[in-house]
Chains A and B, each alone.
Chain A
Amino acid sequence: MTTHDNVVCTFCGCLCDDIEVEVRDNTITAVKKACAIGKNKIMHATSDPPPISVRGVETSVDEAVEEAVRIMSTARNPMVYGMSSTTSEAQREMVEIAEITGANLDNCSSYCHGPGVLARQQVGLVSCSLGEAKNRADLVIYWGCNPVEAHMRHLSRYSLQPKGLFMPEGRKGRKVVAIDVRPTPTTKRADVFLQVQPGHTFEIASVLRALLNGVELDFPDGADSVAGVPVEAWREVVEMVKKCKYGVLFFGLGVTQCRNTDINVEQVARLVQDANRHTRFSAVAMRGHGNVNGTNQVMSWLTGYPLAVNFSRGFPRHNPGEFSVVPMLARKEIDAALIVATDPGAHLPKDAVDFLKTIPVIHLDPHRNMTTPWATVVIPVAPVGVAATGTFYRMDNVPLRLKKLVDSPFPTDEEVLKTMKEKIAYAANN
């Protein structure tokens, strides 16, 4: 039996790197310190791989790769998509495949935290690494996120309980505010919970900015509430912001996917910028999948843009809405797709999935999922962080190296994609 310490859990954007994993006869037998989700994911990382197949017929990896290369080489307007749960090394191969094939390239953030990424293009973001929250934050705001259920160790490792360098009392030294449309296990942990009506993020952020900047707000009698919360309560939040030494706002899909999407995050980002005239304040996006942040990073250094890129002219062009996965599929413009490390069958709208079923789809994933039954080419891969190494970017941009704990009978994403890339390039040049 071997015990591996300091293993990085790849499941969510927290990337907890203190996990202990026991391995016996190339099988994981115990996982310690991870949360329930992480533990479950690591324990079962190598179970239930799909069969290697082309059009439902079982085959070898080599033949599946040959067919994948043929599909991508003959497609006229392919899509390369996914990436959120694989390594930056594999993501880098995907970008080059998109380049060679003149493809559209997008990642899962385009329908989750994408608006937050677009807001960063427009106004920027004042942010910090999670350790600054742990060491300094005396005010923590959770807005439209529920880490107790989605990022289970976030509160204990980073944002709420830990004793920090300048926060020796841990939880007791912090004020905690939660803003959400319904009570959640996270809002229960807050000192102040503001239950807001759905769809009002922009309005709330605007009012908070106005109050923070000393703008007098005139409310008609009986209408002095914003998003269903009395303005007095918002005033108190603003006072807390002004008084704190170091505040951190964690925001989730409740903010990024609120109607009107990116302008909400823009206004929230400006609010945080404004707060820095009074004190120090940061915002951190609660990124979901383990390396969805990595996709934005890798695409930015290779293409200049964090998502929604098209290579049909040989150079990267960026147009969210035009080159984002959902609208692209809605317009039925794609004639082949390479999808890696995401399960569109489970995550994309039904119409999009129905259309994908009509074109050749190449799917790389460690597990049998909602896409594998109908994908044209299915290549099972070694699960990252368990049977494959590489780099993941935590929600705060801290990059970590994954460990390989067991051997997989399957190649890694990186290996399959690299082979594909070389063969596609060869086909393109000859």
Chain B
Amino acid sequence: MLRITNGQVHDPANGLSGEVRDVIIDGGTIVSAEGLPQAQLDEMETIDATGCVVMPGGVDIHSHIAGAKVNSGRILCPEEHGSHVSARTAITRAGCGLTVPTTHRTGYLYSKLGYTTAFEAAVPPLEARHAHEELQDLPMLDKGCYTVMGNNHLVMQVLSDSDPVRRKERLRDLVSWLLKASRGYAVKVVNPGGVEDWKWNTGAADLDIPTPPFGVTPRQIISALAETVDDLKLPHSMHLHCNHLGEPGNLATTLATMRNLEGHRAHFTHLQFHSYGKTPKGGFTSGAAEMAEYFNRHPEFTCDVGQIVFGPTLTMTSDAPMEFHLHQMRKAKWASGDIEMESGSGVVPMTYSPGVLVNAIQWAVGLELLLLIKNPWQIILTTDHPNAGPFTAYPEIIKLLMDADYRNSWLEKLHPKVRRYTCLFDLNREYTFDEIAVITRSGPARALGLANKGHIGAGAEADVAIYRIGDDKRAMFNAPAYVLKQGEVVVRDGEIVRTVQGRTLGVSPEGGERLDDELTETFDGYYTVRLANYMVEDEYLDRPEVVPCG
């Protein structure tokens, strides 16, 4: 057994707000200290957390860390790898990269920030084996991946079924099957209809414009998938990347999408990229205030922010048309991959600069959302790694949230016109440790339906992060004093001291054992792989764990 003592425990799920408490670990699990005789406590191996906050391990709900498009990103930017390297040590593997680190390095970098779980945000089933192979080589974290379905032909084919009862049942089976085939954790929808539209070289998808060839609209796709996710009682809600990412005025589409989903659970990812107003001339303004106002009235929804980080990065998404536009705008390198029957993807390098007005507004929008959405359980810290910036910037973002003076000091570095378009510098809210704990661990764990993560009460997994309290919150969250994974100390003073292999989290919803006859016929006719070779085998999951539905 192991005892963490004298630390200020921030465990919002269990109502602990900095109380000094012992946290007791037995094997990989947190156990109650109550009833343990003092003599036993005194004899335990002890971590002295005096002057530290003790929190659950961090949980990243949306990050691009493994799979075909991430690797395509690695190939695309050798120039960044050379200056960010880690040499092999007695316990760690070699690697490199900042915005798209190699797999082992990704695990170490997360762990060194106190994170213990992360989800790859977009995997097309046809390439799911690749994502899982990379995840096998990504240590330190429990992990999982989301299965993209918003432009899937089989999904659209089912939605074009005219019998509503049959349609519903078939979709439930299909979604369940796709999750099993890809070993996914959640249903991901990216620019519903829009990726397929672009394969026909037609414009951006609007909610009610039918997508060829099935004539299904994005509205139908998201409504039906949200309903199916609820019916299947999946632990995580539908994970939605709305239409029109990054376009001025897209606030209207995002709000219309949300209204359409009222009453269902839904997670709106990288909401910052979807919360823009428009000037009369077509320029960007912040739509964050209106968005937050709506969000504050809808507790059934969660979001993650996708906060911009200034500096060079790489954008990568299944939203292939968006990347095409970015390539045209920036005249930058561009990798793209259309995936038969399912999806697409694109990768384009990007630099966000404080002196560029649009970037300054984007940066402000993210922070406004974080400060204006009142309930921290509804908004999760992400950078949509690496789209808005690398996850290694989380400590910087925490500092921006906890320190209003620091935040306001940025005003002079930003484009001078930024004040016209944002209210950020009128906001005085400063996050507390509890609120930071919510947006970085407890909130995402709850949104993901992970009952044993995101808190450190009895029965929780012993994933713990201990940070030495300091005035500079960036420095504090950048180098945890200790990180424990599955009850073992893996990081001390910001350095890896032990490596562990995490689990792969999956789901096993009802039904969907096989594809129905009509869909089998489509599959056999139009995929280029055999159905028998499609489903990801057990060999690709090192330590699988099924998170229960319901």
Residues on A lying within 8 angstroms of B by beta carbon are 5-6, 8, 17-18, 88, 92, 96, 99-100, 117, 120-132, 134-136, 157-158, 163-166, 245-246, 273, 276-277, 279-280, 282, 296-297, 300-306, 311, 313-318, 389, 391, 393, 397-401, 429
Contacts and interface: CB of A to CB of B under 8 A. Distances in A.
B76 A304 contact: no
Nearest to B106: A301
B339 interface: yes
Contacts of A301: 66, 70-71, 74, 102-103, 133-134, 137
Contacts of A306: 75
Interface string B508-542: 00000000000000100111111011000101000
Given A88-B133, A123-B333, A301-B102, 17 more contacts: A99-B88, A124-B347, A126-B335, A126-B336, A129-B528, A131-B527, A134-B526, A135-B526, A165-B213, A297-B71, A297-B130, A303-B94, A311-B88, A391-B133, A397-B337, A398-B528, A398-B529
A300 B87 contact: no
A6 B75 contact: no
Interface of B: 66, 68, 70-71, 74-78, 81-82, 85-88, 90, 93-97, 101-104, 126-127, 129-130, 133-134, 137, 153, 198-201, 213, 324, 327-328, 333-341, 347-348, 522, 525-530, 532-533, 537, 539
Contact of A400 (B101, B198, B341, B529): B529
Nearest to B335: A124
A273 B334 contact: yes
Given A17-B533, A99-B94, A126-B335, A305 B78 contact: yes
B335 A129 contact: no
Contacts of A129: 126, 337-340, 528
B80 to A, nearest CB: 9
A304 B71 CA distance: 8
Given A246-B199, A315-B96, A100 B88 contact: yes
Nearest to B67: A301
Given A6-B532, A6-B533, A131 B340 contact: yes
A233 to B, nearest CB: 25
Contacts of B94: 99, 303, 311, 314-316
A215 B149 CA distance: 41
Contacts of B341: 131, 135, 165
Contacts of A304: 74, 78, 81, 95-97, 101-102
A282 B130 contact: no
Contacts of A165: 153, 213, 341, 522, 525-526
Given A300-B74, A397-B127, A401-B537, A124 B133 contact: no
Consensus secondary structure, chain B interface:
mixed
A306 B94 CA distance: 15
Given A18-B530, A121-B76, A316-B95, A126 B198 contact: no
A123 B537 CA distance: 35
B198 A280 contact: yes
In this complex, the member of B198, B348, B529 whose beta carbon has the largest number of chain A beta carbons within 10 angstroms is B529
In this complex, the member of A122, A318, A401 whose beta carbon has the largest number of chain B beta carbons within 10 angstroms is A401
A245 B200 contact: yes
B217 to A, nearest CB: 19
Contact of B88 (A125, A157, A315): A315
